Structure 1
Amino acid sequence: MRAIQYSVTGEPDVLTLVDRPMTEVGPGEVRVRIHRSGVNPTDWKSRRGSEAGTPVHPAQVPNQDGSGVVDAVGQGVDAALTGRRVWLWEAAYQRPAGGTAQEYAVVPVRHAVPLPDDASYDLGAALGVPFLTAHRCLTVTEDGPDRLGPGKLAGRTVLVAGGAGAVGNAAIQLARWSDATVITTVSSPEKANLAALAGADHVIDYKQQDVVGEVRAIAPHGVHTIVEVSPAANAAIDAAVIAPHGSVAVYATDGGATMELPVRASMVPNARWQFVLLYTAPESWRPRGLADVSAAVEAGAVRIGPDAGLPLHHYPLDQAADAHAAVEDAVVGKVLIDVI
Structure 2
Amino acid sequence: MKAVWYEGFGPADDVLTFGDLPDPTPGPGEVLVRLRASGVNPSDVKLRAGARAGAVMAWPRIVPHSDGAGVIEAVGAGVDAARVGERVWIWNGQWQRPFGTAAELIALPSAQAVRLPDGTSFAEAACLGIPAMTAWYALFADGPIAGKTVLVTGGAGTVGRYACQMARLGGARVITTVSSPEKTAHSTAEDWINYRETDVAAAVMDLTGGAGVDRIVEVDFAANQQASLAILKPGGVVASYASASKMKPELEFYGFMFRNVTLRMLIVYQLDPETHRRGEAQLTEWLEAGALSHAVVPGGTLADCASAHRIVEAGEKLGTVVLDLSR
Q: TM-score, normalised by structure 2?
A: 0.94
CA 1:158–1:72 in structure 2 vs 1: closer, same or farther (change >3 Å)?
Answer: same
Match of 2:311 in 1: 326
CA 1:311–1:118 in structure 2 vs 1: closer, same or farther (change >3 Å)?
Answer: closer
1:94-130 residue CA offsets vs partner (Å, 9 max, x unmatched): 2212x11100111110000111111111111111100
Paired residue for 1:63, among 65, 78, 84? 65
Amino acid at match of 1:289: G
Match of 1:169 in 2: 161
Whole-angstrom CA distance in 2 between matches of 1:66 and 1:53? 25
CA 1:156–1:8 in structure 2 vs 1: closer, same or farther (change >3 Å)?
Answer: same
Amino acid at match of 1:217: D
Amino acid at match of 1:259: P
Moved more, 54-63 or 4-13: 54-63
Match of 1:227 in 2: 217
Whole-angstrom CA distance in 2 between matches of 1:23 and 1:237? 49
Amino acid at match of 1:213: A
Shift of 1:186: 0.5
Match of 2:16 in 1: 15
1:185-196 → structure 2 map (5 Å cutoff): 185-195=177-187
Match of 1:82 in 2: 84
1:264-306 residue CA offsets vs partner (Å, 9 max, x unmatched): 33122211111011222344422212221222212211111xx
Whole-angstrom CA distance in 1 between matches of 2:198 and 2:108? 47
Amino acid at match of 2:205: R
Match of 1:100 in 2: 101
1:1-340 → structure 2 map (5 Å cutoff): 1-13=1-13, 14-49=15-50, 50=52, 54-55=56-57, 57-97=59-99, 99-141=100-142, 144-145=143-144, 153-195=145-187, 198=188, 200-219=189-208, 220-304=210-294, 310=295, 312-330=297-315, 331-340=317-326
Whole-angstrom CA distance in 2 between matches of 1:42 and 1:311? 17
Gaps of 5+ in 2: none
SS of the residue 1:30 aligns to: strand
Whole-angstrom CA distance in 1 between matches of 2:245 and 2:23? 38
CA 1:23–1:161 in structure 2 vs 1: closer, same or farther (change >3 Å)?
Answer: same
SS of the residue 1:87 aligns to: strand
SS of the residue 1:59 aligns to: coil
SS of the residue 1:110 aligns to: helix
Shift of 1:61: 0.7
Whole-angstrom CA distance in 2 between matches of 1:237 and 1:321? 38
Shift of 1:58: 3.1
Gaps of 5+ in 1: 146-152, 305-309
Match of 1:150 in 2: none
Could you tell me whether the CA contact under 8 Å between 2:205 and 2:212 is conserved in 1?
yes
1:207-261 residue CA offsets vs partner (Å, 9 max, x unmatched): 1112111111222322111011111211100111111211111101224222233
Could you tell me whether the CA contact under 8 Å between 2:32 and 2:108 is conserved in 1?
yes
Amino acid at match of 2:88: V
Could you tell me whether the CA contact under 8 Å between 1:9 and 1:52 is conserved in 2?
no
Whole-angstrom CA distance in 2 between matches of 1:289 and 1:53? 31
Q: TM-score, normalised by structure 1?
A: 0.90
Whole-angstrom CA distance in 1 between matches of 2:163 and 2:153? 10
SS of the residue 2:285 aligns to: helix
CA 1:215–1:51 in structure 2 vs 1: closer, same or farther (change >3 Å)?
Answer: closer
Instruction: Give the share of equivalent positions with the same residue, in percent.
Output: 43
Computed over aligned residues only, the root mean square deviation of the Cα atoms, in angstroms, reads 1.7
Q: Which of structure 1's runs of 4+ aligned residues deviate more than 4 A?
A: 51-56
Amino acid at match of 1:38: G
